Every structure is written in C-alpha cells, then in structure tokens.
Amino acid sequence: MNWVTVIWSMSVAMSLTLGAIHFVGWCQDRKAWANLLFAIMAVSVAAFAGFEIALLQAQTAAQYAILHQWGHVPLFFTFVSLIGFILCYFRSGRAGLAWTVIGLRVVVLVINFTFGPTFNFRAITGIRPFQFLGGTVSVPVAVPSPWAPLGAGSGLLLLVFVVDASIHLWRRGRANERRRAVVVGGGVALFISASVVNGVLIHTGVLHAPHFISLYFVLIVVGMGYELSRDMIHAGKMAEELRENAEGMSLAAGAAQLALWRWDIAPDVLWVSPNGRQLYGIPPGEVISLQRFLDTLHPDDREGTRKAVMGSLEGEGAFLSEYRAVLPDGAVRWIGAQGKVEFDGQRQPLRMRGVSADITDRKRIENEVAEQLRFEILLADLSARFVNVPAEELDDQIEEAQRQVCECLQVDLASLFQWSAEDPSFTRTHFFRLSEGPPLPMKIDAGEHLPWARQQLQAGQTVVFSSLDELPPEAARDKEHFRFLGIKSGVGIPLSAGGEPLVGGLTFNAIREDRVWPEEIVKRLHLVAQVFANALARKRSEQALQESQERLSLATDAAGVGLWIMTLSTGQLWVTRNIRELFQFSPEEALTYERFFDAIYPEDRETVRHGVAASIDSGMPLNLEYRLALPDGSARWVNSQGRPHRNGSGEADRLMGVTVDVSARKFAEMEAAQHRTELAHLTRVTTLSELSGSLAHELNQPLAIILSNAQAAQRLLVQSPPDVAEVRDILTDIVSEDRRAGEVITRLRALLKRGETTLVPMKLNEVIAEALHLTTPDLIGRGITVARELAGGLPQVSGDSVQLQQVLLNLILNAADAMAANAPGTRRLHISTARENDVLRVSVRDVGGGLPANSEKLFEPFFTTKSHGLGMGLAICRSIIQAHHGRLWAEPDPERGAVFHFEIPVLEPTST
Amino acid sequence: MNTRDEIIYIVDDEAGMQKALTRLFRAEGFEVRAFSSAQEFIDAHRAGEIACLILDVAMPGLDGIALQHFLLASGVHVPIVFLTGRGDIPMSVRAIKAGAVDFLTKPVNDTELLRAVHTALALAKSHQAEHAELSALAKRYATLTPREREVMTHVVSGQLNKQIAADLGTGEQNIKIHRGHVMSKMGVVSIADLVRAAGRLTIVKIA
C-alpha cells in the first residue's frame, strides 16, 4: 500500500458514495435530473480514477496502452454528464458550446479507438518506473500523439462553457444561485484548468510526474456533491419542518374545524383529512380525484371551482374559493377553501395543499345581512319614490315596486287587493309574480273563500303563515282556497292610510315551498303597505279634488262665471279655465297678482289696485268693473266681485271671488246711451200700448152713461107732463160724465203725442202745473200733501213739454213711492222752481228714505230700488234733460229724504 | 104699455150706469131694480116673476158670466141681456150659447136695448105660461088610475082598442070605457090633443 493506492482508492470510493447518494435521491424524485447526472458523473469519475490506478501500476506497454485507450470512455461520460449537470443545475449555459465540447470528445474517442495505440500516444515503447508519493508507479515511454492539443482544446472549451454558465447564473442575482455559481462553477473551472495545466506541464516535461487528472475530477465531484448535498439536506430539513408544521396544522385545523387536504397533481390524487371527508360527505377509504371532488359540489358551482383550481395552477399558486357542497342527504353546505400550489424546479405544479372550512353559517348570515341591506335600500328608495309619484303613474309604480320586493326577497307572488262597501269581494288591482303560472283570479269572493283572512284584514290584523298547517282551525275554508290557488305560505297586511277606513290588503305568497316570514321582514312589508296605502289614498283624494275642480269649472263655465283665489302672502292666483280664456292667459301659465294686473287696461289699473287694497284692509266685499287690454288688441269689460278670507288669527290671507265678462252688457249700455231718446219714446209707446185697453174703458164708461142718460131724457121729455126735475138731474150727470171723458182724452192725447224731441219756447211752470194736475188725484189717494213754490216771472225755456212732463211725472211719482213707508200725515212733496243765472232749476223734494251712497247709480239703466219697475225711468229722464242741454242730479236733503234737481238753460239769457 | 108685474133687474158696478139705465127703463114704464153686485141680485130675486136681467160683464166679485152660470145651475130662469164695455167675440158666443138673449156693448142705443128687453120679457112670459100649462097637465095626469095611465100610453102610441085589449088581456069594451075616462080627465077632446099632452109630459113611448 502506498499513498497512490490510498488516495486513488479513496477517490473512487468517495465518488461512488456521492454518486450512490444522489442516485438514490434521484430515485426518490425522478424529476431531480441534476442528481442523476451528478450520480453518472460521479460513477464516471470513479471509473476513470480506477483506470488511472491501473495505469499507474501497469507492467507492460501493451497493458498500459489498452488501459489508457479505455480510460477515455469514462472520461467522455464525465464530460457529458458534467455538461448535462451544469445545464440542468444552473439552468444556464450555451448549448452551442456544450455540443461543441461533446463533439470534440466524440472525435477524441473516435481517434482514440481508430489510431493506435491511444489518443494521446502515437506509440508506447515501454514502461518505466517512477518515484511518486513515496512509491513506485509506472509511467509510459511513448511518442505523444499529434492530436493531443485536441484533448486540451476540449478541456478549455469545457472551461469556457462552465465559466459562461456560472457568469449567467451569477447575473441572475439570487443569493444561493450566486453561491452555487462560485462553488460549483468556480470549482469546476479551477479544477479543469488545473488538470489542463497539469497535463501540459507533464507533456512538456516541465513536471516530472505521472499523468493523472482523475483527482481533479474527484475534487470537482466533491465540490458539486457538497453543493448538491446542501440542497438535499435543506430539502430534508424543510420536509421535517413541514411535517412538524403539518402536524401542528392538523391539530390547529382540527381545533378550528378546518379540513386539510392535499392534491397531488400528476397522479390526480386528493388526500383529505377525515373531518374533510365528513365535510364533503365522502366516505372514508374512497379514492378522491379532482373530478370526484367537483362532483360533490352544487352543479352551479362546479365550473367556477374548476376554473379557480386551474387558475391557481397557472398563476401564483394561490387558490381561494367558496362553493356549495351537496351532501348525499341533499343538504347544501357552504364551504370556503384556501390552498397553495407547490411547484417543482421547473415551475411545474407538483401538488396543492390547503384547508377547507364549513362557512354555511357565515354565508347564511352574510346572505341575510345582504338581503336585509338590499331590502332596506329598496324600502328607502320606494318611500322616496312614492312621495312624488303622479297619480297616472301610480299603478305602474306599484307593480314595479312589487316586482322589486319579490325579487329582493325571492317572494313568488305579490298582490294588492282592494274592496269597498259596495263590492266586498277582493279585487286584485296590482300584482307581480316571479314565475309564470296559471292565470290568477282577479276577483275573489272573500266572504265565500277567504272568510277568516278577510275578517282578519278588515279588523286591521296582519295575517302570517309559514305553511298551511299553521292556519288556525277556523281558517279551514281559507286553507282550502289557498291550496286551490297553490299558495304554500303568505303574509297579508291590511292597507289603511291616515285612519281612513280599510280599503285593501297587500299580500305576499310563497308558491314553490313553505317560507318563514321573520318578524323583521313582516315589519318592513308593513312599511311597503303603508307606502302603497298612502299613495293610493293620495291618488283618490287627488282624483276627488280634480273631479270637484272639474265639476266646479263646469258649473262656473255653465254660469259664465269664473272663480279665482288669490293667496295674499305669495301673490299667487288660482283661476278657473274660463278666466284663463277670458284674460287670454295660457293654460299652463303660473299666475300671480302682477300678471293679472298687467292684463288690465292701463287707465283702470289704479282703480283696481285701490279697490283690492281697500277690500283687504276693510274686509268689505270687492266689486270692481274694469277693462282688459288683451294681447290680441281687443278690449273686454269684466266685473269682479269677491271678499277677503281671514285665517285663524283674523288676518286676511286670501281673496276669493268671481269674475264675469260684462262686455255685452257694457256695450249695450253704450249703445243705449246713444239711443236714449229713442228708448224714451219706446218706453212711452210701450206704456201706451199697455194702457190702451184701460184707457178705452175709461173713455167708454162715461160715454155709455151719457148716451143712456140722454136717451132717457128724450123719452121723459115726450111724456106729458115731462118730468123736468129728473131731466135736470140727468143733464147734471151728463155734464159730469162728459168732463170725466174729457179728462181721459186729455191725458190720452198727451201720452199719445209723438216722442220726437221738438224744442219750442215754453213756460216751465205750466208744464209743472199740468204734471201736478195729472198726478194730484193719485197723490191725494196716497195721502201725500203737495207744496208748490213756483217762482214767478220766469223766462221761457226751449223744451219739449211732453218729455219734460215725463221727467216731472217720474220725479213726482218716485218721490211719492219714496214716502210710501212714511206714517200718514208725514208724506210731503215739495216742488219748486228758481232761476240760477242763465238756467232755471226745478227741484222735487221728498221726505222719504233718502238716497243710496252713490246717488249716481240711480241714473244707471236697470238700477232700481223698487220691487217692480224696469229701472229705466231716471236714466231716460237724465237723457231727456241732457237733450235739453241741461243736467239732472240727486242729492240727499239736509233734513230728511232726497232732492232731485234739473236745470234747463233759459231761452234768452239776456232778457228777464 | 107695460104692466107692473114685469120687472127689469140691472146689475152694474158703475153707479152712473145704474142710474142712467134705471131712468131709461122707468121712462118706458118698467119696474126697475138696480144692484151694484151679483150677490145683491141673487139675494133680491124671487122666483115666479116675469123679469129680465141687464147684466154688466166686468164687475168686482162675481162677474156677469159667472152669475149667468150660477143662475142656470140653480134652475132660475131669468132671460139675460149682457151689457159690456169691453166685450170680445168668444165671450159673447159663450154667453149666447148659455142662453143669453143678447150681448150688447156700451155705449148702447136705447132702441136696441129696449128691443132686447122686450124679447127677454116675452121669453120670460112664455116661460111662465108654459110652466103654468105644464103644471095643470101634470095635475090632471095625477088623477088617472094606473090602468088608465097604461091605456093612455097605448093610445098615444097609436094602437087600436082591439090591440090594446089584447095587450092588456081584457075586453075591448073595457078599453073603450078607460079611454073615455082618460080623455075627460086629461081635458082633451081629440087623440091629437092627448098625444100633445103626453109629449109635454114626456110619457110618449117612441116605437
């Protein structure tokens, strides 16, 4: 035994040992190709080292040549496996270089076995002993082969490959990879260069030593083995830690009711902890594949879960999913799973480990909270929305709201029933159902089919039943009908708004299955019912209001009267349609007092403003007549009457009243004024025609008496002796009757006179005397005493005696009428004439009831204070006096009663 | 001239008219009674007088036409001459139809008025005569026995004695005796007179 034997043997053993270890490692992990390549290399190095021992102890040249030739084979494998190892372990290195090196070594092998005796030597002439490491070893006496540089070149190229690969690895910058680059790359490079240098030195004879390179390779193997073993030891440690962790995890998982699982991807085997099997309802012992696992899930969740699994394999390796498992008994369980994928060195997913937990309770709470939240939001939205729903959209909105409630709560059917005193059966006015179904009855004879439910709802009670079995015995008929309708459970809430009588009910029904109605939900449904009830009540009152307004409008339209209400605080004005038409306001325009004011004829505005203000201040009724200046240029006369309305504190807050178009009357008045004279004539003629019958009778009567008396006298006179006394009496009567007839005729003549105004010089006092003569009997009959105070020596006036007499008769008879209520003995009429400069004034004074506040009204046509009469008298009188270029007016008597004056210009102002 | 038992009633609300008419009729020798209202006339009138009524139409209270109807309804036969200030044709037609003698308008001519009055009084007289004759006949008829009344009925209907005897189931001789009694009791000498008397008593059987 010498050192050479010891060293080389140890090298072989060491290489073999390392190779064996890593071969075993590869066997455990077939994908650990680096370990396999290392093992091959280690074995190759060991073989090569064995050849070298044999060479060092070779006895003949031939023996040496054969050993040397075959020693190239392990050397070749060493090269190839080294390159493979670097490529595999570093995951870097240039493939071109690698193949070049391998190619060179193949060439070396070919030369080695083609030309003799070996690649390195052209001829081996002998063996000579050589002292080395305290022993004698054999060295060849040989002629070096000219190919030798090729071998050295391959070694240098290998060096370049390794250095390049190491630099690449270093540049990746990870700590353990850098170390790997330094230790493995650096070592390989160092020992390859050393071996090359060593070979060159020996060949050139500089170094006197036997040719050996196996030791360098052994050192390479040791370096590489160290590094590789480090990895293995690390992996082992990790495995240990993992195991400990896993045990800890298992404990923790058990405590936290977590199920553990591991899915080995390539064999598609899923290991699941026992509590996991319980969780998924998989019997113990059954082999679980991914598909088997997925089959336990709810059909809706299978595809999603599969995608989540596959996604985690492709991405960062994190798996997180929630899905429903359907247990063999049909129960559904929510499960949350979390896992992590383990990858191999090639980033290939190896397995996935993770935990699963039963999250059914959490999901249920989450769902309930979410549902409640959605419902709360819906309720808030409904309440807000229904505040302003226009009446015509209400029906649609209610059904839309029913749809939302049904979808939110997953209720199958929502219905709104209404009933009334006239029709006590339930009428389904609004409904929504989630799924199609047989036609719903729109009318239910509740008294017949739902007596109990009806009684409950009409008593204001809410009806709730989760299933038909919950219904009380007295609801047997209801139950029967619910079954007939396919209803399994339901809620019925009475509808009432603001204490109004109950007019309906809101119901929600489950049809597919029984359903529990938690109190919270029922409370919320009460809110929905309240919202609907309020909206329906509002719609009803709006309709009623609209109807009443329409009726009012119709009524006022029919009467030709427009209504208006002015709110004093805002100046806003509400008017009926016909006022809008009259004032030519647009139908939709918002009206204010100012807008109204603008429509008034400018000259009349101040009067109206003053009148309105006065009415508000005094609280007195308003009565105004004014003109409108309309946009189309036309003018209308309107009359507005109204009165202020006081609020609780006595302040006027509104002014309301009516407005009438009086244009026709006003225009007629104007026309009348133009034809006043004609009217006066007409009035007289009318009076005449009325009087003609009685006038004829009046005249006939005395004539008949006269005739009969005269004929009686004739007969008496032919008797002998004639009754002279009787004849005298007869003649007296005849004269009397004749006078009577004459008076009638005189009166008639005056009245029959044509009505044209013919002004002639005349004495006013005479006209007065005549008028008094005509009226005296009448006045005496009424117990009226007449006082005349006629001024003497008055000048003549230019006048029409008939018309002036008409005026006087009117004034005298009016005065008599005014005193009709006076006590007998206090009826006194005073008539006087006087000259005032160039006019004569006639005054008729009474002691009657006096004048109205505005005495000018007396002279308006159709104004009358009498229960009978046209109210035309004074209007005509005034027009007659005006035709005489005079004036007629009234004033209150300072003491009592009234005085009517008229003045007519004297004919000759200068004369007396 | 006129006899004192003929009375002219005047009803007119106009005093002057009453007076003038009264003078006119008195000048003609009539007895005149004038009233200013219908009621006064109703109170004063006595049945059995030969009278006529000069009646104004237009009066306060019961007017002339109303009074005419009242008298008709009460069975008072007073011939009426209407005298009116304002009469129209429909009114006059109604008055005449209801039995008025004439319908005159004021002023009225005396001859016209007197002619109407004479007509009226003549009517009143014939009324009275007829009334007297009829009551005499009735008195005679009341003296007949029932058998005699039967025989009289058959006689005035133109039957021969033989036929009457056969109808009444008795002998012809008996009928002759009854017939003689009827003729003497009714104060008639011929069958024609008996028939006329029976007609006035309205016991003629129309065959």
Q: What span, in angstroms and rounded, lies between the C-alpha atoms of A736 and B20?
A: 13
DSSP labels, A91-110:
S---HHHHHHHHHHHHHHHH
CA of A734 to nearest chain B CA: how many angstroms apart?
A: 9
Number of Cβ within a 10 Å radius of residue A726? 17
- When pLDDT is averaged across residues A759-774 and rounded to a whole number, the result is 83
Highest averaged pLDDT of the listed ranges A647-651, B116-120, B151-155, B192-196 = B116-120
Read off the pLDDT of residues A432-459 as tens digits, 9 standing for 90 and up: 888 777 778 888 888 888 889 888 888 8
pLDDT computed for residue A696 by the predictor: 65
Q: How confident is the model at residue A576 (pLDDT cuts 50, 70, 90)?
A: confident
> Is the confidence at residue A881, as pLDDT, over 70?
yes
pLDDT computed for residue A901 by the predictor: 94
> Is the confidence at residue B169, as pLDDT, over 70?
yes
Highest averaged pLDDT of the listed ranges A131-135, A171-175, A891-895, B197-201 = A891-895
> Is the confidence at residue A250, as pLDDT, over 70?
no
Pick the more confident residue, A910 or A651: A651
Average pLDDT, chain A: 82
Read off the pLDDT of residues A793-822 as tens digits, 9 standing for 90 and up: 889 898 887 788 778 877 887 888 888 888
- Could you tell me if B60 lies within 8 Å of chain A, comparing CB atoms? no
Q: How confident is the model at residue B203 (pLDDT cuts 50, 70, 90)?
A: low
| Exposed/middle/buried for residue B126 (C-beta within 10 Å: 0-12, 13-18, 19+) | exposed
Q: How confident is the model at residue A57 (pLDDT cuts 50, 70, 90)?
A: confident
- Could you tell me if A719 lies within 8 Å of chain B, comparing CB atoms? yes
> Is the confidence at residue A220, as pLDDT, over 50?
yes
Contact B24 A712 (CB under 8 A): yes
> Is the confidence at residue B75, as pLDDT, over 90?
no
CA of B110 to nearest chain A CA: how many angstroms apart?
A: 6
Highest averaged pLDDT of the listed ranges A155-164, A221-230, A241-250, A541-550 = A155-164
> Is the confidence at residue A278, as pLDDT, over 90?
no
pLDDT computed for residue A540 by the predictor: 77
CA of B206 to nearest chain A CA: how many angstroms apart?
A: 52
Q: How far is CA A71 from the centre of its chain?
A: 93
pTM above 0.80, yes or no: no
Read off the pLDDT of residues B121-149 as tens digits, 9 standing for 90 and up: 999 888 888 878 888 888 888 888 888 88
Pick the more confident residue, A596 or A759: A596
Say what percent of chain A tops pLDDT 90. 6
**Chain B residues close to A711, C-beta within 8 Å:** 24, 109-110
Contact B23 A716 (CB under 8 A): yes
Highest averaged pLDDT of the listed ranges A70-79, A114-123, A358-367, A436-445 = A70-79
Contact B17 A693 (CB under 8 A): no
**Helix (H/G/I), strand (E/B), else coil: A188:** helix
Burial A343-362 (b: 16+ CB within 10 A, else e): eeeeeebbbbbbbbbbbbee
Contact A715 B28 (CB under 8 A): yes
Contact A706 B27 (CB under 8 A): no
User: What separation in angstroms does the CA of A661 have from each of A213, A529, A582, A624?
Assistant: 134, 50, 8, 12
- Could you tell me if A726 lies within 8 Å of chain B, comparing CB atoms? yes
In degrees, rounded to 5, the angle at the alpha carbon of residue A767 between the alpha carbons of residues A765 and A772 is 95
pLDDT computed for residue A911 by the predictor: 45
Alpha helices (runs of H) in A347-416, residue ranges in sequence order: 360-387, 394-409
Chain B residue at shortest CA distance from A693: B86
- Could you tell me if A737 lies within 8 Å of chain B, comparing CB atoms? yes
Q: How far is CA A859 from the centre of its chain?
A: 66
Chain B residue at shortest CA distance from A717: B27
Q: How confident is the model at residue A902 (pLDDT cuts 50, 70, 90)?
A: very high
Pick the more confident residue, A56 or A868: A56
User: What separation in angstroms does the CA of A727 have from each of A724, A731, A881, B28, B108?
Assistant: 5, 6, 52, 14, 19
pLDDT computed for residue B1 by the predictor: 47
Question: Which of A697, A703, A719 has the CB atom closest to B86's CB atom?
Answer: A697
Which tokens hold the place of A687?
A: 């009076």
- When pLDDT is averaged across residues A213-242 and rounded to a whole number, the result is 79
> Is the confidence at residue B105, as pLDDT, over 80?
yes
> Is the confidence at residue A488, as pLDDT, over 60?
yes
CA of A740 to nearest chain B CA: how many angstroms apart?
A: 12
pLDDT computed for residue A845 by the predictor: 93
The values of phi and psi at residue A439, to 5°, are -60, 140
- Could you tell me if A698 lies within 8 Å of chain B, comparing CB atoms? no
Say what percent of chain A tops pLDDT 70. 89
Contact A700 B107 (CB under 8 A): yes
Contact A700 B106 (CB under 8 A): yes
> Is the confidence at residue B207, as pLDDT, over 50?
no
pLDDT computed for residue A121 by the predictor: 81
**Chain B residues close to A707, C-beta within 8 Å:** 20, 107-109
> Is the confidence at residue A674, as pLDDT, over 60?
no
Q: For tokens 């005699």, what's the residue?
A: B148
Alpha helices (runs of H) in chain B, residue ranges in sequence order: 15-27, 38-44, 64-74, 89-97, 110-142, 146-156, 161-168, 172-185, 191-200
> Is the confidence at residue A676, as pLDDT, over 60?
no
CA of A870 to nearest chain B CA: how many angstroms apart?
A: 29
pLDDT computed for residue A844 by the predictor: 94
Contact B20 A709 (CB under 8 A): yes
Which tokens hold the place of A570?
A: 């805002």
**Chain B residues close to A704, C-beta within 8 Å:** 17, 20, 85, 106-108
Q: How confident is the model at residue A756 (pLDDT cuts 50, 70, 90)?
A: low
Number of Cβ within a 10 Å radius of residue A47? 21
- When pLDDT is averaged across residues A861-871 and rounded to a whole number, the result is 58
Q: How confident is the model at residue A888 (pLDDT cuts 50, 70, 90)?
A: very high
Pick the more confident residue, A202 or A881: A881
Amino acid, res. A225: G
Pick the more confident residue, B7 or A781: B7
- Could you tell me if A692 lies within 8 Å of chain B, comparing CB atoms? no
Question: Which of B26, B28, B107 has the CB atom closest to A704's CB atom?
Answer: B107
CB pairs under 8 A between A and B: 70
- Could you tell me if B27 lies within 8 Å of chain A, comparing CB atoms? yes
Q: How confident is the model at residue B206 (pLDDT cuts 50, 70, 90)?
A: very low
- When pLDDT is averaged across residues A565-589 and rounded to a whole number, the result is 84
Read off the pLDDT of residues A601-637 as tens digits, 9 standing for 90 and up: 888 888 888 988 888 888 888 888 888 888 877 778 8
**Chain A residues close to B109, C-beta within 8 Å:** 707, 711
Contact B21 A708 (CB under 8 A): yes
